[in-house]
Chains A and B, each alone.
Chain A
Amino acid sequence: MEEKTAISFANVAATYDNANEVLSDVSFNISGGAFYFLSGASGAGKTTLLRLIYQLHKPSRGQIKLFGQNTAEMTRDDIAKLRHKMAIVFQEYSLLSHMTVFDNVALPLRVRGIAEKKVKQLVTKVLDWVGLGKYADVKPMELSGGQQQRVSVARAIIVQPSILLADEPTGNLDDENASRLMELFIQMNKLFGTTIILATHNKKLMETYKFPVIHVENHRVTFVGKSSSTTEPKKVWKGPTPKNYFSELSKQFDDIGNA
């Protein structure tokens, strides 16, 4: 196995409540810094695949390795620490309704014990990136679906993940906002070497950005297109340093306003 392999599946199967297998004999290696779309019909097992990678679901058989580590041998705390290098954006946002947008985005940093001064600095910056700087003090329920989606994305990218998994992150966004978000992901991938797997139904998106596709069908996984792992993983992200691109992106989000 290559040293820079980020995700490795070997004959992995997944079931829910000991019923039929949702995924069978899934085997693949994904290099660090790759960008993949994940496609398939509803209920095909896209979310299950993401949950398996993120260790939210245990495989019924087979072996999963993340950053070369066999996850079957890991304790709960080991998995928690492994998740410090990963982030996931769920379709249903998974935001805490009683907390403000700022606190939701700050949560992963606080869990990691980052100093509050640094938390404030990073959250403010990332909220600006996703165009939600002025909504820092509001509760997620007061935001539109698209804005909540962006809060969820902000919470994921703020931890400088090595692997970013996104389940239909553009599902609630219009074309304009969807492409802005895609640009954000692409920049993360290019600038920071983040391995990204993005589940989507949006064929237009897949046609526009010609990344290779992991296709889930009949409980099996097939790969379509050439791996984009040509993107060299960059040095570890030392914090969301302001880039011209992100400043520009932020302005564009501001111009668009509510998604």
Chain B
Amino acid sequence: MKKTTVFSLVRDQSVFMTAIMSLLTFLSVMTLGIAISISTGVIDWNTQWKTSATVQVTNQKSEPTVRKILNDNKTKIETLHEISESEMSDLMRPWVSGGNALQNYLPKVWEVRFKSESDLNDMSKTISPHARFLTHASALHASMSAGWKMMMIAGLILVLTLGTIAICVSYIARNTAMLHKRELEILNQIGATDSFVARQMQIIVSKISACAGLIGFVAAVPVLLLVLSSAHSARVGLMAMLNITSFGWACLVILPILITIFAIWMTRHTTLKILQKD
């Protein structure tokens, strides 16, 4: 059966709805993309550092004990890097420059990557009585916390954008029903059920939403890639870890489809409500 639409939106309304839905889809994809990239970055960042720690011996008498513990537990250690005096001097250059007097007071430091988190926790208990055991995760806690907060803010913006879409679609459906009151009356006169009328509106809105979804998505992708590229240019730190996995891209593709489905549902709901109220 031919799916003939009985009425169509007036041109201005059609253009307005396509433009506003494109913009809102663009913002939705952007905010979800940013939320995904930050969460991916934070998770990767967390994973990267959660098995790493720095062992710092300030009391030289404890150094043999700590060294022995490290040697005895090599099965738990992935990599062990002893910071040499020259590396330490490089690190401390602004404060330790020239002369050897202060170098005698420099701590002995090992950078250790454990095989698992439980290995790290075990070793932490063993080493802590003899040396400072600093996990990298706790040192970077503030950065990760900031990352999660940013992700939550992006999520909130996404929710607000989706809410705006709901209001817009509802308003447009209501406005369309008002503008096309005569057509609705005629449909009513010739025996069209409310479901039929709602379906007519849904056909129109689905076409506009699909078109707007495509425009919004296509516009958002290069901007997201630009944001990621700019973040990666930082090379180190949490910013450099921002990323969107293939699962994340799949989520971004699904979002405009979900928005379209939501718009269609919202249109049906609003139209039926208007018709029953009439």
Contact = CB atoms under 8 A, between A and B. Distances in A.
A80 B189 CA distance: 8
A98 B189 contact: no
A174 interface: no
A113 B196 CA distance: 10
Contacts of B2: 110, 116, 119
Contacts of A77: 193-195
Interface stretch (A35-43, A81-89, A194-202): A81-89
A161 to B, nearest CB: 10
Interface stretch (B3-11, B38-46, B84-92): B3-11
Listed from nearest, the 3 A-B pairs whose CB atoms lie closest are A83-B191, A116-B2, A108-B190
A194 B164 CA distance: 52
B186 interface: yes
A46 interface: no
A19 B275 CA distance: 24
Interface band, chain B? 20 to 34
Contact of B4 (A88, A110, A155): A110
B1 A115 contact: yes
Contacts of A84: 191
Contact of A98 (B1, B8, B187, B276): B8
Nearest to B194: A76
B192 interface: yes
Contact of A96 (B1, B7, B188, B193): B7
Given A56-B188, A83-B190, A96-B6, 9 more contacts: A76-B194, A76-B276, A80-B193, A83-B191, A107-B187, A110-B2, A110-B4, A111-B192, A155-B190
Contacts of B63: none
Given A96-B6, A98-B7, A116-B1, A111 B194 contact: no
B119 interface: no
Interface string B241-266: 00000000000000000000000000
A167 to B, nearest CB: 12
Contacts of B189: 54, 56, 83, 88, 90, 94
A168 interface: no
Contacts of B193: 76-77, 80-81
Interface in B175-213: 183, 185-196
Contacts of B183: 96
Nearest to B10: A98
A217 B24 CA distance: 59
Interface residues of A, number: 32
Interface string A102-116: 010011101111111
Contacts of B185: 94
Most buried by A among B185, B186, B190, B195: B190
Interface of B: 1-2, 4, 6-8, 183, 185-196, 275-276
A174 B188 CA distance: 30
A80 B192 contact: yes
Nearest to B278: A76
A223 B194 CA distance: 36
A77 B188 CA distance: 10
Contacts of A86: 191
A113 B190 contact: no
A80 B194 contact: yes
6 contacts: A56-B188, A77-B193, A80-B191, A80-B194, A96-B186, A111-B187
B6 A107 contact: yes
B186 to A, nearest CB: 5
Contact of A108 (B8, B191, B275): B191
A94 B183 CA distance: 9
Contacts of B7: 96, 98
Contacts of A99: 6
Nearest to A86: B191
Given A96-B6, A96-B183, A107 B1 contact: no
A102 to B, nearest CB: 11
A94 B186 contact: yes
A107 B186 CA distance: 10
Contact of A111 (B8, B191, B275, B276): B191
